[in-house]
Amino acid sequence: MSELEIGALLFAVTFAVLFSGIPISFGLILVSIGFLYFFGDAGGLSLIPNTFVGELSNFALLTIPLFVLLGCTIGASRAGKDLYDSLHRWMCKIPGGLVIANILGCGLFAAMCGSSPATAAAIGRVGIPEMIRRNVSPRLATGAIAAGGTLGILIPPSLTFIIYGIVTHTSIARLFLAGVVPGLMLVAIFAAYAWGSSYRQLRNNPTQVIESYTLSEKMSGLIRILPFLAIIISVTVVMYGGFATPSEVAAIAAFLALVMVVVVYRTWRLTELWLIMREAVRESCMILMIVAGAAVYAYMMSYLYITQSLAEWMFSWNLGNWELILILNVFLLIAGFFLPAVSIILMSMPVILPVLVHSNIDLVWFAVMMTINLEIGLIHPPLGLNLFVIRGVAPEVPLRDVMMGALPFVGLMLFFIVLLAVFPGIATWLPVTLMGPA
Amino acid sequence: MQYFNRWVTRASTALAVIAAGLLLAATLIITWMVVKRGIGMQNSWELELSIELMIGAIFLSSPYTLATGGHVKMDLLDAILPECIKHKLAFIAKLAGCLICLYLGWEGLRMAQHAFVTGERALGIWQPLSWPKYATIPVGMFMTALQYVTSMHRELVSAPGKVNSKDETASSKDAPYCVRCDAQHKEVAACRN
Amino acid sequence: DTLKLTHQWPQGDGRDKGARHFVDEVVKHDPSFKFRIYPGASLISNPLKQIDALAGGSVDLSIFPLIYGVGKAPEFSITILPGAVNSVQDAMRLKGTDYEKRLQAVAEKQGFHILTWWWTEGGIADRVRPITTPDTVKGLKFRGADRTIDTMLKQAGASVFAMPSTELYNAMQTGVLDGLMTSYETFMSMRLYEQVKYATLGGDYTIFVVFQPLVMSTKAWNALTPAQKEIFERAADATLANFNAEQDKLKAEVVAKFKAAKVDVHQMTQAEYKQWLDLAKKTAWVDYASISPEAKGLLEAVEKLSK
Ligand code: NA
Ligand code: NA
């Protein structure tokens, strides 16, 4: 069988195995073992355990448990409820106000955290139950957080920009700056969608009670946000003041949240602490097991040369620039079905980069487009890491609903990719203005 | 078998408590590392130790995660398939999951044993020995496999077509959307076994 | 059967070019050999695990900086030991000597065979003050590279701590890190010149020289016939001139790039180098010799050649 035929078979088998109801991580390993057994050799099989563990021995990935702990600390204690009560008092007049607050929260969190699943986990853990409690439709609530969470890799700092910068010799500072405007625009687009969707729902259901609060009630709510503001400010100072790297900040934020919960909310009994910690280890285990399983799967695809053959095959067609951009985006979307963002960059850039350079395509602009495309991969099945994260933090919402909720956001992001293709300035304006032309 | 199930549940929970301790320790250590560096002192063991602790925490919490339904899966077919096929498929999926856990546990054991014999160390400034980190793999994955065994046993003894309320695949469809109630519910269910 | 070759660098990097040159040379003499190159960590995402891949037979060849194997064989530290060699040219003296034989023996024990004699240089860059002699690093926050270098820097009064390479750029930007010692390639690929003010590199002397050879798994190596082994060894030797020329070119490029970025570039003088060497001998060398009898033997081989 040729590599492309094996790839087609892999496509079918992966779907079948993952839909059987086996945990995602174990399913990915099962498929990898099977394909390396039938199409690879004993040598290929022997590195699976090392790939699995080697992937986890990475401090940047290990910030995920720390950010999850941050989310659980706020979410599993009274602190999260308080925060949303206060926000609710201010936002309840706007249709979808709380959803918009959550999307803004994702954007803010993305500015502290370089990973998308961590962003979705931290905000979703608190936000989704509170939104659903306040009659936001479960689809909108989970979809908004799944999509908002993907901004973690677009708004700096970003793990994928760092990897891309190293692989392509592009300035990481430039890439970070290029992600700012598109990130903010996506926040605005997501928020606008949440407003529109909630407005329609409200109009169809006019019996729904609209609460209202007096100014003093609003102000008293504001006081309860102060501890959170203190955390956000300290974390910003620690990170941008040169005291800690973005990864270290994860631990500091989690630590401060724990201190807040103990001091302000008096959660100091061991049983209460256990409620927080057990959620944190459960979610971390789930996310990182999937990440490690996906690394094994990516290794298998690379060992059998499937990804590379697919990319080589697509670029053998000798296309013009616009066709090339279209094909690249299609390729990235397909790759996003099965592979995590970092693996896609590592495996495909050696093939794509020469083509980009040959066609004189701006690497910074392409990085932003690629990142948004990879973000879509995080919220579409079968391997959409953010979907699983949401599933983990809100187990009562069926996966179908989470996926349906994320679908409109996939559409919005695809639309934004087109916008970015037509107006490259959206990405390149800020870095060129601040750093001069490349 | 009742006794065995209870023992497995207790051991899984105990491992999760240890994992929670490791994660908490890693958080404190990294915070301490930043403070220490901020006041001009040398960092040495902090980063490497916290990495080892977090890797250990991930593997040790795996059985508890499975027991409480935390390992996410695609349950899209649940609504479409007829009851009897669904049960068979669920059983096969569990068997496959169990075999993968045995495989990972076995390979982890080999890695731990090899690292122990050769005295392998992690890279860095402090260079801790690698085997304690690797040793958490067999412990966590074999326990996850045992957790699968109890779950498959329950599947076999319960009549097909009936939803077993104690089972980790059972989702309380009519419960309100509330994460904390759900976790509590699962915790109680797990402890009852 | 296709031989798999992995490395962690992007296409077009000096080491990637070296690997392709090697492959061409082998195929020229024996067209029956087929190779597949996986650049940029596209097969093994954690480059440290290449040593396990070689031992387990997943890959046949790798470009493997031996210091990645220090956790398994601490003797490999000799390939970064400060002052053991002072430039790429200096490292050429060690080829074919007792040093190479001893190093090869350590490598074979770990399941791989060293093919090429590829050494690369690096330097020091920071954001506080020019680094000349050891006392100028006092109080600066440095990123650790290898235990031997860390020992020396600590003795000189620097604060040394571990940091993953993906964090370097941010850390330099925000000031978590004051400076670092790394290879020219890393300076270039991570564009660290954007975030530093001073650099000590590009001269005739440096205390940062690293061995990054192309290696072959012992399994695959032993499967070759004596005639094939000779083809591989000749191909490895044939790459050396180009590889070193590439390093010289890179050295000039790095200096130009740093200067263009308005970095104050200093080239280490012989007198300054002497001070670093004396410090290294008192600290890192003593530490290294105490690792094992093999380490002691390797260090003695270096000392014998330095006389
Ligand atoms: Na971010
Ligand atoms: Na996907």
Interface ipTM: 0.90
In a domain, A315, yes or no: yes
CB A371 within 8 A of CB A334: no
Banded pLDDT at B39 (limits 50, 70, 90): confident
State how far the Cα of C1 lies from the Cα of A117, in Å rounded to an integer: 41
**Residue B169 sits at the chain A interface (C-beta within 8 Å):** yes
Q: Identify the residue with better confidence: C146 or C124.
A: C124
Q: Which domain holds residue A374?
A: 59-435
Put simply, whether the predicted model's pTM sits higher than 0.80 gets the answer yes
Q: Which of B56, B44, B30 is nearest to A256 (CA)?
A: B30
Whole-angstrom distance, CA of residue A308 vs CA of residue A317: 15
Residues of chain A with pLDDT under 70: 206-210, 382
The whole-angstrom separation of Cα A171 and Cα A168 is 9
pLDDT, residue B180, reads 39
Q: DSSP characters for A8-66? A: HHHHHHHHHHHHTT-BHHHHHHHHHHHHHHHHS-HHHHHTHHHHHHHHHS-TTTTHHHH
Task: Assess contact for A172 and C169: CB atoms under 8 A.
Answer: yes
State the nearest Cα–Cα gap between C48 and chain B, in angstroms: 9
Answer whether B177 sits within 8 Å of A129, measured CB to CB. yes
Residue in chain C nearest A435 by alpha carbon: C194
Interface test with B, best of A14, A18, A22 (most B CBs within 10 A): A22
Per-residue CA distances from B33 to A252, A343, B44, B49, B115 (Å):
10, 31, 9, 11, 27
Give chain B's mean pLDDT. 83
Of the candidates A57, A171, A299, the beta carbon closest to that of C194 is on A171
What mean pLDDT is predicted for residues B97-123? 96
Question: In this predicted structure, what is the pLDDT of residue A209?
Answer: 62
Nearest CA in chain A to B176: A396
pLDDT (tens digit per residue) in C184-223: 998 998 889 999 999 999 999 999 999 999 999 999 999 9
Q: Which helix (H) or strand (E) holds A126?
A: helix A116-133
| The predicted structure's pLDDT at residue B164 | 44
Distance B53 CA to ligand 1 centre (A): 25
Taking the CA atoms of B159, B165, B168 and B172 in sequence, report the sign of the dihedral they define: positive
- C148, pLDDT greater than 80: yes
> Can you tell me the mean pLDDT for C113-119?
98
Q: pLDDT at position B159, please?
A: 53
The C-alpha angle B50, B56, B59, rounded to 5 degrees, equals 145
- The C-alpha atoms of residue A273 and residue A122 are separated, in whole angstroms, by 17
Q: What is the pLDDT of residue B160?
A: 53
pLDDT tens track for B66-77: 999 888 777 667
* Neighboring chains of C (3 or more beta-carbon pairs < 8 A): A, B
CB atoms within 10 A of CB B40: 9
Lowest mean pLDDT among A200-214, C126-140, C279-293: A200-214
pLDDT the model gives residue B174: 33
Q: Tell me, what's the pLDDT at C246? A: 95
* Residues whose beta carbons lie less than 5 angstroms from ion ligand 1: A 110, 114, 152, 155, 158
Residue A5 lies in a domain: no
Please determine, for residue C247, whether its predicted confidence score (pLDDT) is greater than 70: yes
Looking at the structure of chain A, the number of domains it has is 1
Residue C85: phi and psi, rounded to 5, are -135, 150
State the Cα torsion B3-B7-B10-B11 to the nearest 10°: -170
- Tell me the C-alpha distance between A110 and A269, whole Å: 32
Residue A403 falls within a domain, yes or no? yes
Each residue of B131-147: pLDDT tens digit? 999 999 999 999 999 99
Strand-pair partners of C34: C2
* Residue C291 contacts residue C77 (beta carbons within 8 Å): yes
- Token pair recorded at residue A27: 């399913």
What's the sign of the alpha-carbon dihedral B16, B21, B26, B31?
Answer: positive
Most C-contacting residue of B37, B44, B123, B131 (CB-CB within 10 A), to test interface? B123
Task: Please report the pLDDT score of residue B101 as a whole number.
Answer: 97
For the cut 70, the answer to whether the pLDDT of residue B166 exceeds it is no
Locus of tokens 């996410």: B72
* Phi and psi torsions of A383, nearest 5°: -110, 75
Q: Would you say residue A17 lies in a domain?
A: no
- What contacts A358, CB < 8 A, 6 or more positions away? none
* Domain-embedded: residue A208: yes
CB contact under 8 A, C166 and A162: yes
